[in-house]
Amino acid sequence: MPADSLRLANDLRPQDEIPAQHWQGGPLHCGDCGYAHLRALGARLGCEPGHACMQDVYARRIDRFFRWHPTLSDEQLAHSYFEVRAIAARRASLFRLPALMDDPDETVRLQVALRLPQAQLVRMANDPHREVRIRVVQRLAPAELGALRNDPDYGVRELVAQRLALALLPTMANDPDRAVRLRVAQRLEMPALLRMADDTEPEVRRVVAERLPVALLSRLSRDVDWRVRWEVAQRADAATLEAMRDDEEPEVRQAVRTRQAGDVSPIGTNHG
């Protein structure tokens, strides 16, 4: 069944499996709802308890209600139930979203971060919840990510390292988290990349060995970790390979001999 037809079938289905329940607990009372008059309009035009209802505890029914009535979203941005505010924020006017940037619930703020215009999004860079800040990092322009380089959450900083403007990236080369430094090493340009050849983590040095200019690979040819030396052997020039012929690790010696058996130029291929 095509996606549009499937959605229509789901929208018209009379009842979800989960019993209808008011978001404050107990049964639904349509007479207490300001939208009770919509029930007379029928499916996709009105509302239906247990299927499309703004007062239900079940987020899917709330979402269905606002999909049927997107123009009502602005009216419910101050609703007491966070699910109603969050779902209404998906379709509300952009001009109304700034008022929700400090909403007490992160679910609401997350929806705001997904839609807020770029000019205002930077104001959410210090949101207390990591998932909100992650959405901010995903949407901000690379040149505007500098303020998040020192975020307390390593996952946020890792994403910053993937998108930060290259001119600022060297400032993250000493990040305390290995995963962040790995991202930095994957993008950093010379000469800053060379400074990461002394990183304390072998995985970071291995990435550096993948990207350093060939002429500088000899610096890592005696690395304490055999995986780094193996990476060097994949790209090293003839002189460096010769110096690695008697490496203590069999995998490295084999990589050296395989390269030497081929046509190894004095300089090799520069991947820097």
pLDDT of residue 270: 43
Asked if residue 209 is part of any domain, the answer here is yes
Q: Which amino acid, residue 203? A: E
Asked if residue 251 is part of any domain, the answer here is yes
Asked if residue 222 is part of any domain, the answer here is yes
Asked if residue 42 is part of any domain, the answer here is no
**By residue range, what is the domain housing residue 261?**
197-272
Asked if residue 171 is part of any domain, the answer here is no
pTM of the model: 0.81
Asked if residue 48 is part of any domain, the answer here is no
pLDDT of residue 91: 96
Q: At what angle do helices 82-89 and 59-68 cross, to 10 degrees?
A: 40
- 3-class secondary structure per residue, the chain: CCHHHHHHHHHHCCCCCCCCCECCCCCCCHHHCCCHHHHHHCCCCCCECCCECCCECCHHHHHHHHHHCHHHHHHHCCCCCHHHHHHHHCCCCHHHHHHHCCCCCHHHHHHHHHHCCHHHHHHHCCCCCHHHHHHHHHHCCHHHCHHHCCCCCHHHHHHHHHHCCCCCHHHHCCCCCHHHHHHHHHHCCCCHHHHHHHCCCHHHHHHHHHHCCHHHHHHHCCCCCHHHHHHHHHHCCHHHHHHCCCCCCHHHHHHHHHHHHCCCCCCCCCCC
Q: Shortest CA distance to 163 belongs to which of 127, 180, 174? A: 180
User: Along the chain (272 residues), what's the average pLDDT of each consecutive run of 10 residues?
Assistant: 45 64 88 86 80 93 95 95 97 96 97 94 95 96 93 97 96 98 98 97 98 97 98 96 96 96 58 41
Bridge partners of 56, per DSSP, are 22
pLDDT of residue 18: 82
What is the spatial distance between Cα 154 and Cα 166, in angstroms, rounded to a whole number?
19
Asked if residue 237 is part of any domain, the answer here is yes
157 neighbors 133 (Cβ within 8 angstroms):
no
Q: Count of domains in the chain? A: 1
pLDDT of residue 39: 84
pLDDT of residue 61: 95
Rg (CA), the chain: 28
pLDDT of residue 6: 40
Place of tokens 């949101």: 127
CB atoms within 10 A of CB 216: 18
pLDDT of residue 263: 62
185 neighbors 211 (Cβ within 8 angstroms):
yes
Asked if residue 54 is part of any domain, the answer here is no
Terminal-to-terminal C-alpha distance of the chain: 50
- Encoding tokens for residue 140? 């901000």
